[in-house]
Structure 1
Amino acid sequence: MLTDEIDPEWETDVIALHEENRRNVRMGLIHQFGNEHHEQKITDYSALGAAPWSVVDRHNLFMQQIRDSFAFGAYYPALVGACALGERILNELVIRLRSAYGSHPATADVATQGSFSNWSLCIGALFKWGVLDDPLATQFNDLRKLRNRSVHYGTHLTDSNGRLDALHAVLLIQQTVEALFKPHGGPPRFIPGTTGHTFYSLRAESDPFTSEFMLPASILVSPNFEMTYNAERGQFDVFDDDTYHEEFPELTDEEFADHRRLPRRSMHGRLGEGT
């Protein structure tokens, strides 16, 4: 709403609605962050783009605090907060996954410590385990450089409010979180051909990262399930066919996608609640 350009070819009522929505967003931000220097705050909020989509909610609260700090104009807290969250995520990844890679040669260097301040050690282990690919390892390494530049004394922040470094750091941690924890995508992690929903493949279920972080935030369903929004709780209720497995005890990924495209059958039971 804040950054989309209005196309003069749009219908008059569409343009009017877009302008009204933009005004409402602006007023909401002014109410949230205060009237003083509100144009700069709106500019800063827009520069952050959309918040990362992560199903691992333990990062979302801290990410929101970092984004709020930047939008409020507290650039240095946003800068060091983004770097600290990057270090926290690296520590969490290594500590929670290292037992799954106990026999891997790269595990020896990270096998016993309770915490890590050496980013390169963590990045190297996670890369060799296959948890991080080249782009993610590079993003973490770029964030490491920003962390060292901002925490240790140097002259680069002299006569600077830190905005450019802070924006770089926040965008980096946002990209990293979304790339790691996003609940959508394609093979090999997700089953292709399932428009509207995403499902983890059989291969992905045995992946240590997926089983440790993603599956606990997911719901096991048959191809014959439905979701309805519960406005009172602000969540989706998930209803599954509890007899489906009796007729189809095992399905390949391709068969699951094929069955998902079939017309829904009547429901026999309720599975549970998800978000």
Structure 2
Amino acid sequence: MTNANRKRYFVPPFFGFWDTRPRSLDEVQDHWEENIKKQHRDNQASIFASIRQEYGSDRFEHKLENFKDFGYVPMSIVSYHNLFFHQVRRAFIVESYYPALTGACALGERILNHLILDLRNSHTSKPNYKLVHRKRSFDNWKAAITALDDWAVFEPGIAAKFAELERIRNRSLHFSPETASKTRQDALSSALLIKQIIEGQFSSFGSQRWFIRGTKGACFLKREAESDPFVRNFYLPQCPLVGYRYAIDFLPNGAALVFDSESYAGDEVDDDEFARLHNERAVDELVSTIMPPDPGVITWLLTTGKAEQVTLIRALPSAAT
């Protein structure tokens, strides 16, 4: 029988769109050694070529400036965030500023709606529940932000980011003479706010309240966080429950298999002890990933947004072969 008290939920960090190329576009520094300068210039030349291929050569200097200003792309645990944010970014880079602006604002409203609809039944005793319990969608950002903040869903600063995005949305979607002259500025500001919201609330790693501190190379959920409605709805469906000896095998189609011992001997471990066991594990302690799995090994199939425990069986050769 699985000793769940010695296991924690592992947060997969490898699904979604991730782009850190903008971080490699800083100017060469005079104090760098010559070989480092050459390596940096060669790397930048490769990045410039990839940007030109991806976004086209027409008005390339403007596109490059937009690429730099937009900055790196974070990865959300919610797959549609990554898809729609990528579309916002592409629109901004190719100078389609108003579509980028309206897209970022629409994505912010969509995130708020999902949070309210997915979490409201976990907060029926809260005063703000009566304001949101019947509606199927929400365009009143203030009511949604207030409710989610009252339910302690948001990490610090996230409510303020949504409120700031709402102000940009209101003056951009409802007529304002300023919009035409500030479209690029507002598009960038709204996109950066979405980026901060994704990083602060939906990241697969970081300092959020639900992550165990100090684990090396991987992130796990605190035991007490497993009952948090936000974590339960947005994280647990895609996180396998594993012990410190787990191993990962990546599949050609982009999915991954997680192998783990079905049971771990010993008493319950707290989060600090789990972190120690994970950080000090040796390579020869890891569960084997051979197929079919050894007896006593359980497997999880990880795909975008889903972690599912599966049984793997290798097909036997037929008599004709």
Instruction: Give TM-score, length-normalised by structure 2.
Output: 0.79
Partner Cα separation in structure 2 for residue 152 and residue 188 of structure 1? 37
Cα separation, 1, equivalents of 2:234 and 2:286: 32
Specify the alignment match of 1:88 in structure 2. Answer: 110
Identical columns (%): 37
Residue 273 of structure 2 corresponds to 255
1:177 is matched with which residue: 171, 189, 198?
Answer: 198
> 132-141 vs 119-128, which deviates more?
132-141
Going from structure 1 to structure 2, the CA distance change for 1:261 and 1:52 (only over 3 Å counts) comes to: closer
Flag the 1:27–1:262 CA change in 2: closer, same or farther, 3 A. closer
Relative to structure 1, the CA distance from residue 201 to residue 114 in structure 2 (aligned partners, 3 Å threshold; closer, same or farther) is same
Matched residues in 1 for 2:141 and 2:277: separation?
Answer: 45
- Which amino acid in the other structure matches residue 256 of structure 1? F
Q: Distance in 1 between matches of 2:206 and 2:235?
A: 13
CA 1:134–1:225: 2 relative to 1, 3 Å: closer
Contact 1:143 1:172 in 2 (8 A): yes
Between 1 and 2, higher relative CO (CA 8 Å, sep ≥ 6) is seen in 2
Partner of 2:17: none
SS in 2 for 1:272: strand
1:56 and 1:217 in contact (8 A); partners too:
no
Alignment of 1:54 onto 2:54: no
For structure 1, the residue ranges without an aligned partner over 5 or more in a row are: none
Tell me what 2:225 maps to: 204
Q: Spell out, residue by residue over 1:130-176, the C-alpha distance to the aligned partner (whole angstroms, 9 max, x if none).
A: 01245111110111111111111111124x26101111011111111
Spell out the pairing of 1:97-176 with structure 2 (5 A cutoff): 97-158=119-180, 160=181, 162-176=183-197
1:35, distance to aligned residue in structure 2 (A): 1.1
Q: Aligned partners of 1:223 and 1:64: how far apart in 2?
A: 34
In structure 2, distance between residues paired with 1:188 and 1:180: 10
Contact 1:76 1:161 in 2 (8 A): no
Matched, 1:233 2:253: yes
In structure 2, distance between residues paired with 1:197 and 1:208: 23
Q: Which of 293, 296, 300 is 1:272 aligned to?
A: 300
CA offsets 1:61-107 (integer angstroms, 9 cap, x no match): 00000000000100000000000000010000000000000111111
Counterpart secondary structure, 1:271: strand
CA distance in 1, matches of 2:103, 2:72: 18
The aligned counterpart of 2:90 is 68
Show structure 2 runs of 5+ residues with no match. Answer: 1-20, 288-293, 304-321
Shift of 1:229: 4.1
Distance in 1 between the 2:155 and 2:276 partners?
A: 31
1:21 aligns with 2:43: yes
2:310 is aligned to none
Amino acid across the alignment from 1:239: F
The alignment's C-alpha RMSD in Å is 1.9
Contact 1:188 1:203 in 2 (8 A): no
Q: Which has the higher helix share?
A: 1
Distance in 2, matches of 1:216 and 1:53, equals 17
TM-score for the superposition, normalised by structure 1: 0.92
Q: For residues 266 and 122 of structure 1, do their structure 2 counterparts lie closer, same or farther at Cα, with a shift above 3 Å needed?
A: closer
Amino acid in the other structure paired with 1:46: K
Q: Deviations over 1:236-257 (max 9, x none)?
A: 432212232xx13632212212
Residue identity in the other structure for 2:259: F
CA offsets, 1:177-200, max 9 Å, x none? 111101223474111231111110
Q: Is the 8 A contact 2:247 2:286 kept in 1?
A: no
Q: For the residues of structure 1 that align with 2:107 and 2:123, how far apart are their CA atoms?
A: 24
Q: Which residue of 2 aligns with 1:189?
A: 210
SS at the partner of 1:31? helix
Change (3 A) 1:125 1:161: closer
Contact 1:75 1:161 in 2 (8 A): no
Count matched residues. Answer: 271
For 1:173 and 1:263, the matched residues in 2 are separated by: 37
Q: 1:259 to 1:115 in 2, by over 3 A?
A: same
